[in-house]
Structure 1
Amino acid sequence: MRPSVPARIGSWIVALLVGLVYGVAGTVAHAYAIGWFPLGLILAVVGSAALLLAVRLLTSDRWATLAVAIGLMTATLVFSGAGPGGSVVVPQAPDGEFNPGIVWTILVPIISAVVIAWPDTFVRADAPSERST
Structure 2
Amino acid sequence: MRSSVPARVGTWFVALLVGAVYGLAGTIAHSYELGWFPLGLVLAIIGCAGLLVAVRFLTADRWAALATGLGMMTSTLVFSGKGPGGSVIVPEGALGSVWTLALPILVAIVVAWPDRIRPLAEN
TM range, smaller chain: over 0.9
Q: TM-score, normalised by structure 2?
A: 0.93
Q: Which runs of 5+ in 2 are unaligned?
A: none
Partner AA of 1:112 in structure 2? V
Equivalent in the alignment of 1:51: 51
Alignment of 1:62-101 (within 5 A): 62-93=62-93, 99-101=94-96
How many residues were matched structurally?
119
* Residue 113 of structure 2 corresponds to residue 118 of structure 1: yes
**Cα distance in 1, alignment partners of residues 74 and 20 from structure 2:** 7
Equivalent in the alignment of 2:33: 33
- Residue by residue over 1:43-100, the C-alpha shift from the partner in whole angstroms, topping out at 9 and shown as x without a partner, is 000000000000011111011000000000001100110001110101123xxxxx21
For residue 114 of structure 1, give the secondary structure of its aligned residue in structure 2: helix
For residue 87 of structure 2, give the secondary structure of its aligned residue in structure 1: coil
Q: TM-score, normalised by structure 1?
A: 0.86
Higher helix fraction (1 or 2): 2
Q: Which runs of 5+ in 1 are unaligned?
A: 94-98, 124-129
Partner AA of 1:119 in structure 2? P
Equivalent in the alignment of 1:109: 104
Give the structure with higher Rg (CA): 1
For residue 46 of structure 1, give the secondary structure of its aligned residue in structure 2: helix
- Residue by residue over 1:85-133, the C-alpha shift from the partner in whole angstroms, topping out at 9 and shown as x without a partner, is 110101123xxxxx2110000000001000000011178xxxxxx9xxx
For residue 9 of structure 2, give the secondary structure of its aligned residue in structure 1: helix
* Residue 22 of structure 2 corresponds to residue 22 of structure 1: yes
Partner AA of 1:80 in structure 2? S
**Cα distance in 2, alignment partners of residues 113 and 59 from structure 1:** 17
**Cα distance in 1, alignment partners of residues 92 and 103 from structure 2:** 18
**Cα distance in 1, alignment partners of residues 117 and 19 from structure 2:** 24
